Amino acid sequence: MVNLIWVAMAVVGIAFAMMSGTMNKVNEAIFQSAKEAVTISIGMISILVFWLGLMKIAEEAGLLKRLAALFKPLVRRLFPEVPPNHPALGYIVSNMVANMFGLGSAATPMGIKAMEELKKLNSHQEEASRSMITFLAINTSSITLIPATVISIRMTYGSAAPGEIIGTTLVASTISTIGAVCIDRYYYWKRTRKGGKR
């Protein structure tokens, strides 16, 4: 499905440019976005190094295990395939907490580290495991307590109550996270029914 979407966006875009005369813009966009992608990746080094370094201290001090233990009933049910006390659970929980508080720069390194730990448990090295899919389903619809960026935009444009959307955002993101887990479980059920493959 990724392959299909990836090719479709590029090919439809190029075909559309042929008809609408926007080929110049497309040319420009190709090189600009390739450059942007590298800039983003390289720019991630600073936060990755910093947070992974800090999280290593937290891991060695046993802090991640305690954090995971705090959310054990929930995490165990969400990720039944991950053995209890596995470091992956600590990183998953810290990613979720960071996301909740809108700390994107801290959440990404923790999430990547969680994926790395999940990969160690995965027998198919290049294929997403069940736990990975669940983790990303939760991550993409993550529960948000404070949507800081949106609040600042609303302030800029003179909102009478910039923070009034905190409630609606919280409800919408909570329901969609629960929904995402249900959808994830449905697809898992479909996969297992189709011949026991994960």
Partner 1 sequence: MAFIQLLSTWLIPITIAFILLYGTVKKVPTYEAFVEGGKEGIQIAFSVIPYLVGMLVSISIFRASGALDYIMNGIKPIADAIGLPAEVVPLAVVRTISGTAALGMTTDLIATYGPDSFIGRLASTIQGSTETTLYVLTVYFGAVGIKKMGDALKVGILADILSFIVSFFIVLLIFGR
What residues from 131 to 170 belong to the interface with partner 1 (CB under 8 A)?
Answer: 132-133, 136-137, 139-142, 144, 146-151, 153-154, 157-169
Contact range with partner 1 by CB under 8 A, out of 69-77, 79-87, 171-179: 171-179
For residue 186, what is the enclosing H or E element?
helix 165-193
Q: Using CB under 8 A, pick the residue from 58, 75, 92, 93 that binds partner 1.
A: 58
175 binds partner 1 (CB under 8 A): yes
**Residue 11 structure tokens:** 């090919």
192 binds partner 1 (CB under 8 A): no
Give residues 22-41 in contact with partner 1 (rule: CB under 8 A). Answer: 22, 25-26, 28-30, 32-34, 36-38, 40-41
1 binds partner 1 (CB under 8 A): yes
C-alpha 111/C-alpha 95 separation (Å) is 5
Q: Are 99 and 139 in contact (CB under 8 A)?
A: yes
**Residue 21 structure tokens:** 């005369």
Nearest-approach distance from CB 72 to partner 1, in angstroms: 20
81 binds partner 1 (CB under 8 A): no
CA-to-CA dists, residue 198 to 39, 83, 134, 178, angstroms: 36, 17, 13, 22
Q: Are 118 and 135 in contact (CB under 8 A)?
A: yes
70 binds partner 1 (CB under 8 A): no
